[in-house]
Chain A
Amino acid sequence: MLLHLLNRSAASSHVYRDALRAMAEDDCLLLTEDGVYSALMPLAEHFSAVYGRLFALREDLASRGLEGRCAEQIVIVDMEGFVQLTEDADRVVSWF
């Protein structure tokens, strides 16, 4: 299983399409930095194929005033959760 990191908003970059295309069935995707803007509807709909294995980093949400506004399909993790995701994955791929 791979963990994919995405730090770009779907509103400003199309790199998320490459990330989704590259993801295998059991891969996970963590939204970080400006990537967390995609945790809100309607942008989150672009990620419907990976609901259930889609995560967003709490501190990046908080620093953008977005906490509590996430789509319910998204799992919010803190920094410790981020580390845990990298433990569980065989490798980590960053998209930027």
Chain B
Amino acid sequence: MRYALLVQGAPYSHQAAHSALRFAEALIARSHRLETVFFYHDGVYNAQRLATPPQDEPQLVDAWCRLHHEHGTALLVCVAAALRRGVVDERESRRHGKQGHSLESPFELTGVGQLVEAAMTHDRLITFSP
């Protein structure tokens, strides 16, 4: 089956992101396809490329990236939620006259329409919220 996950919790402050990741690994182990993870609300903090957690703690950002590289999972980040929280890619940073950027590939900024599309085109959409 084709799965999409909606993650609305920030990493390291609520369990939502961790639960979503555990579920992602389990569904892949059962031979399903995780095609999309959509990060919304505080979930956009999962896409912070500068996140540097202690080495003996779960590396959530790396784990999301690994899903993309090993399983082709699209990592979609709501642009409206992200810009508000200072999670910007190079293009948006330039457009708004900021210095530096905090989001980069394989995460991509998208509109919330992509979430609606994921709900319609995937077999299952599971929400992980704080």
Contacts and interface: CB of A to CB of B under 8 A. Distances in A.
A32 interface: yes
Given A32-B19, A83-B32, A87-B1, A92 B124 contact: yes
Nearest to B28: A83
Given A79-B22, A82-B23, A87-B1, A94 B29 contact: no
B126 A33 contact: no
Contact of B23 (A7, A83, A96): A83
Interface in B1-48: 1, 3, 15-16, 19, 22-23, 25-27, 29-30, 32
A26 interface: no
Given A32-B19, A33-B19, A87-B1, A94 B129 contact: yes
A80 B22 CA distance: 10
Interface string B31-68: 01000000000000000000000000000000000000
Main SS class of interface, B: mixed
Interface of A: 5, 7, 32-34, 59, 79-80, 82-84, 86-87, 91-92, 94, 96
Given A82-B26, A91-B125, A94-B129, 9 more contacts: A5-B127, A7-B15, A7-B16, A7-B129, A83-B26, A84-B30, A91-B124, A94-B127, A96-B130
